Amino acid sequence: MGETLIQKIMARASGNKSVTPGEIVTCDVDLAMILDSGGPRKIWPRLEQLGVGVYDNEKVVVVADHFVPAADPQSAAILKLTRDFVKKFDIKHFYDMEGICHVLMAENGHLQPGMFCCGGDSHSTMGGAFGCYMAGFGAIEMSGVVVTGNIWSVVPETIKVDWSGSFGDGVAAKDVMLFLARELGMENAFKVVEYGGPTIRDMSMMERMVLTNMAAELGAETGLIAPDEITLEAIRAGGTEPAADALEWRSDDDATFCAEHSFDASTLAPQVAAPHKPSNSAPAEDYEKDQIHVDQAYIGACVGAKLTDLHMVASVLKGRQVKSGTRLMVAPSSKKIMTEAAADGTLATITEAGGLILPSGCGACAGLGAGIIADGEVCISSTNRNFQGRMGSNESFVYLGSPYTVAAAAVAGHIVDPRELLS
């Protein structure tokens, strides 16, 4: 009987010939990514308590991205502790204010199909776009991983989600995920979502990474996309040669899935999720009658400020101005993306339209840094979560949309279907 991709990955990582969904296995961890937020500051005291070091200083990767750049003495102290940890434990891969962790793993060739990776952040699922297992864990569990180099897992069942057809203008991967959050709900815990079909094959890696990133919003263990030539190109661009067996990491044709869904991308409209959860979504045009005034339009986070996202924003803003009474803030996902967007004129288009460029980092998305919002304010955001209080005040309101939709709201001053500005 055929096996799913996740079965193959967990069989290899656990040293078994094959594994079946529901089985409990202990997997060796090929990469353990920890962050300033829940990494060294939580893990170091536990290592002291246990009197041990890290299991492998090549495989434990540290990223400072949540509290960057330091805006108060507490953040500064956390970042200093993070840097001290890297020195003390001789960590070989450290990214300090280079961008958001999930994007950095992709940019720097850390991910290969078939790997088993753990990250100390729920959107670690983003790495699954490379055909590897990468999932989020809490700091307590990452403490265990950093000590032992392994972790228990229940082999997940797989939900297969296939897309065919081409997106219309002004529709992007983000709309797929806001649609899927409504269709599949947020309660798919301990299951894997594997995306496939012609639409996915035509997507760039940056767009594919939106799908696996927001598998977290479906509540899934992780998202997976089987590798192809586009994946291999992205690995090479990160300075790593793809493994010889890279393209063999895929679900068998006769694998068993716990559910299978097929959707048509050509009929998908831009989507917006209303407060306070990503699954609370509807087509963007449904919001127009309410003329929902937007105080802030935010382009940021791992999921929503990659180069492709900034290009979407610029395509809407070109020759237009941000509406008076609305502010547009853009925090590119990484330093590399910032540099590329500066070189190709994208940042100039944004600033000429009245947008403000912020440093790369998790920032306002998680209510941690520059750009948080006040009581009664409304923000439309290209980020991935809109839980109550997520971006600051408990009494604020966050809507989620694609970069097109966020940029369109910045221009209109209220939530609109972005296609009106692209035609």
Partner 1 sequence: MSAVTGKAWVFGDEINSDVMAPGIYFKESVEVMARHCLEAVDPDFAPNVQPGDIVVAGRAFGVGSAREQAALSFAHMKVGAILAKSYARIFYRNMLNFGVPALIFPEADEINAKDEVTVDAIAGTVENKTTGKSYSVSPIPEHLMEMISMGGLMPYLKKKIDAGELKTGAMPR
Q: Which of 72, 84, 169, 233 binds partner 1 (CB under 8 A)?
A: 72
Binding string to partner 1 for residues 194 to 233, with x set by CB under 8 A, is what?
----------------------x--x-x------------
Is residue 20 a contact point for partner 1 (CB under 8 A)?
no
Alpha helices in 202-257 (DSSP H): 205-213, 229-237
Determine, following the binding rule CB under 8 A, whether residue 186 of this chain makes contact with partner 1: yes
Q: Hey, what long-range contacts does 41-44 have (CB within 8 A, 24 or more apart)?
A: 41/78, 41/81, 41/82, 42/139, 42/140, 42/142, 42/143, 43/85, 43/139, 43/142, 43/143, 43/146, 44/81, 44/85, 44/88
Interface pick for partner 1 out of 95, 130, 133, 137 (rule CB under 8 A) = 137
Chain-centroid distance of CA 311 in Å reads 18
CB 50 within 8 A of CB 148: no
Question: What long-range pairs does 75-79 form, CB within 8 A, spacing at least 24?
Answer: 78/36, 78/37, 78/41, 79/36
Residues 301-340: x where in contact with partner 1 by CB under 8 A, - otherwise, as a string:
----------------------------------------
Burial of 396 (0-12, 13-18, 19+ CB in 10 A): buried
Nearer Cβ to partner 1 (12/390): 390
Tell me if 271 sits within 8 A of 283, measured CB to CB. Answer: yes
Pick from 16, 20, 28, 53 the residue near partner 1 by CB under 8 A. 53
Return left, alpha or beta for 404; rule: phi > 0 is left, psi -120 to 50 is alpha, else beta.
alpha
Instruction: Determine if 187 is a binding residue for partner 1 (CB under 8 A).
Output: yes
Please state whether 67 falls in left (phi above 0), alpha (psi between -120 and 50) or beta.
alpha
Count of residues of this chain found to bind partner 1 when the rule CB under 8 A is applied: 61
Using CB under 8 A, pick the residue from 38, 114, 128, 401 that binds partner 1: 38
Q: In this chain, which of 58, 84, 90, 169 binds partner 1, going by CB under 8 A?
A: 90
Binding status of residue 138 toward partner 1 by CB under 8 A: yes
User: Which range touches partner 1 (CB under 8 A), out of 48-56, 197-205, 225-233, 402-410?
Assistant: 48-56
Rounded-to-integer distance, Cα 368 and Cα 17, Å: 44
Task: By CB under 8 A, name the one of 27, 54, 129, 416 that touches partner 1.
Answer: 54
Binders of partner 1 among residues 245 to 284 (CB under 8 A) are 277
Can you give the binding site for partner 1, defined by CB under 8 A?
A: 24, 37-38, 42, 46-57, 66-67, 72, 74-75, 78, 88-90, 119-122, 124, 136-141, 143-144, 147-149, 152, 186-187, 189-190, 216, 219, 221, 277, 366-368, 372, 385, 387-390, 392, 394
